[in-house]
Amino acid sequence: MITEQEALDIFRSLKTAESCFETNKDSKSKRDLDKVTNIIIDKFGYLVKMKSSRYKKYSNYDDLNQDGFEALVKGLKTYNPAKGSIFWWLHKYIDIKIARSANKHLTIKYPLKIAKENIPVKEQLTNKTLKAYFDNINIEPDIENKQIMKKIKEICNSMGEDQRSIFYDHFGLSMVNDPKTTKQISIEKKTSKKNVEASIKTSLDMIKNIIM
């Protein structure tokens, strides 16, 4: 395991190597970039093993490990120091990527005839599922996700200060703290748990149509 400072040093080395390669496009800069990539896999590899260990019984376990290492490198490339700890970001990035790959492996494919006769049921919008959805949007900021997040932020901005604060705290959207329970929030806000739950429900009703 390495320290936060060592991790940041490797991150800076990666950004420097990437910049040199983009500028020169020669064999030396490519070797330097590959060298840093190998260091990343060597130093941070245990993070991937930690996240993939729960899927050891999967037949595509080796593929999940590979996905994890690819996510590790990409996670470092997309890390923004302003978002907090580099380990927090890498843990989240790797975990989401491996879980997504594992879920694809578990997907059940039905014959078209059967699929047409069955109406899909939407997943219940819980704390966990919504937080995972937000995480995916932040991790994979493609055009569609950016548009969705823009609309959600517009709705959040229209909320009162207390309502927005409760919503962000409950789903861990501040990019600093983990999600908090309604009890934790009620204690911090010095209000009843019932009021916190009502505020969260109102917030969810405001954004539910966008993401469901």
pLDDT of residue 163: 92
- Report the alpha-carbon distance of residue 116 to residue 101 in Å, rounded: 26
pLDDT of residue 180: 83
The residue ranges of every structural domain in the chain are: 4-107, 127-211
Annotation: CATH topology of 4-107: Rna Polymerase Sigma Factor; Chain: A (1.10.1740)
pLDDT < 50 positions in the chain: 107-110, 112-116, 118-125
Express each pLDDT in 179-191 by its tens digit: 788 899 999 999 9
- Report the alpha-carbon distance of residue 156 to residue 143 in Å, rounded: 20
pLDDT of residue 115: 46
φ, ψ for residue 26, nearest 5 deg:
-110, 175
Q: How many residues does the chain have?
A: 212
Indicate yes or no: pTM above 0.85.
no
Q: Given its phi and psi angles, is residue 80 left (phi above 0), alpha (psi -120 to 50 degrees) or beta? A: beta
Distance separating the N- and C-terminal Cα atoms of the chain:
40
Cα angle, residue 123 at apex, residues 175 and 180 outer, rounded to 5°: 30
- For residue 206, CA distances in Å to 126, 168, 187, 199 come to 15, 14, 25, 11
Express each pLDDT in 40-51 by its tens digit: 999 999 999 888
CB proximity list for 139: less than 8 A, separation 6 or greater? 92, 93, 96, 97
Element (H, E) at 187: helix 182-189
